[in-house]
Amino acid sequence: MRPFTYTCPKTVDDALRAYMQTSESKFIGGGTNLLDLMKMGVERPPQLIDINKLPLTAIEERNGGLRIGALVSNTAAANHPLIRTRYPVLSQAILGGASPQLRNMATMGGNLLQRTRCYYFYDPSYAECNKRVPGSGCAALHGYNRIHAILGQSEQCIAVHPSDMCVALAALDGEVQVKGPKGERSIRFADFHRLPGETPQVETNLTSGGINYLDRFAGYLLRTPFLLPEGAGSSFVCFRARFRGGDSGRGRGRKDSRSANRIGRGRNETLARHTGREGSCWPETG
């Protein structure tokens, strides 16, 4: 509800230029999380850079693996024949979350950068949240926290990352390719997100060397977020315990994923993968 400027660049370089020109700009793709956060007053960007015109919507084979553009919708990725056949875990993980309407809008890049649904983070009328206001404390630590992390948390933050998809991508040992003002680089998916530690406000390793992610020169555009290695996908299945079904977590879709679970690599190993990342989602809400 605060005034902001809006720009809609056509190229990645234009997007980066716009990003560097206005401090604390935000890229917007599907907007399924950012708009909520703006309405709540959690995010207050002075500029929105709409990246939906950028040519980042392809899913293509590369070196026997798969390269997925940052602007591919969650729905398109989950239903893509190559992903369904070679990386079913990714398809299952995407379909295990949100709703069809949200998945239609949500992008693969945005899914990585969505922010925690911790109650105390999401509502700025709670004074304490180290992620929102560094140094303010953690209201969840001794508050209502049954949906919070059981592994990987710190005294500063016990929030979990909300993405199902990211868990699958970590299991698949994917790679994130990014482009920033200083050029392009690749980040191993498992290294993309950070545990909260002492700086829960720094959620990813998009910046390095201790640079605050809000620094205007530290921004990166997710260009081709996922490079999936050859042959990694078939032995993983999506596995998720939660209070309720949500859209395809129940009914027919669910049955399929559960039976697939039995022929996967074994639940204990999958579980370890899940929980090893950012105190991730077990048990989790839908």
121 binds another protein (CB under 8 A): no
Minimum gap (Å) between residue 209 Cβ and another protein: 36
Minimum gap (Å) between residue 180 Cβ and another protein: 32
Minimum gap (Å) between residue 173 Cβ and another protein: 26
List the beta strands (DSSP E) in 9-50.
26-28, 47-50
251 binds another protein (CB under 8 A): yes
CA separation for the pair 222, 226 (Å, rounded)? 9
Tell me whether residue 44 or residue 185 sits nearer to another protein (CB atom).
44
As a whole number of angstroms, the longest Cα–Cα distance in the chain is: 52
CA separation for the pair 212, 201 (Å, rounded)? 9
250 binds another protein (CB under 8 A): yes
For residues 186 to 225, the per-residue mask of contacts with another protein, x marking binding by CB under 8 A and - elsewhere, is ----------------------------------------
For residues 229 to 248, the per-residue mask of contacts with another protein, x marking binding by CB under 8 A and - elsewhere, is ------------xxxxxxxx
Question: In this chain, which of 1, 6, 209, 263 binds another protein, going by CB under 8 A?
Answer: 1
The answer to whether 202 and 212 are in contact (CB under 8 A) is yes
CA angle 34, 40, 46 (to 5 degrees): 60
249 binds another protein (CB under 8 A): yes
Q: How far is CA 16 from CA 25, 70, 211, 223, in A?
A: 10, 15, 18, 11
The secondary structure element, H or E, covering residue 191 is: helix 189-192
- Ramachandran bin of 36, using left for φ above 0, alpha for ψ from -120 to 50, beta for the remaining angles: alpha
CA separation for the pair 111, 22 (Å, rounded)? 24
99 binds another protein (CB under 8 A): yes
Q: Which stretch binds another protein (CB under 8 A): 5-13, 23-31, 120-128, 174-182?
A: 120-128
Tell me whether residue 19 or residue 126 sits nearer to another protein (CB atom).
126
Tokens 């899913």 belong to which residue? Answer: 59
For residues 135 to 154, the per-residue mask of contacts with another protein, x marking binding by CB under 8 A and - elsewhere, is ----x--xxx-xx-------
4 binds another protein (CB under 8 A): no
Helix (H, G, I), strand (E, B) or coil at 49: strand
CA separation for the pair 240, 238 (Å, rounded)? 7
Tell me whether residue 20 or residue 40 sits nearer to another protein (CB atom).
40
Contacting residues toward another protein, per CB under 8 A: 1-2, 41, 99, 117, 119-120, 123, 125-126, 139, 142-144, 146-147, 241-251, 253-254, 262, 267, 283, 285-286
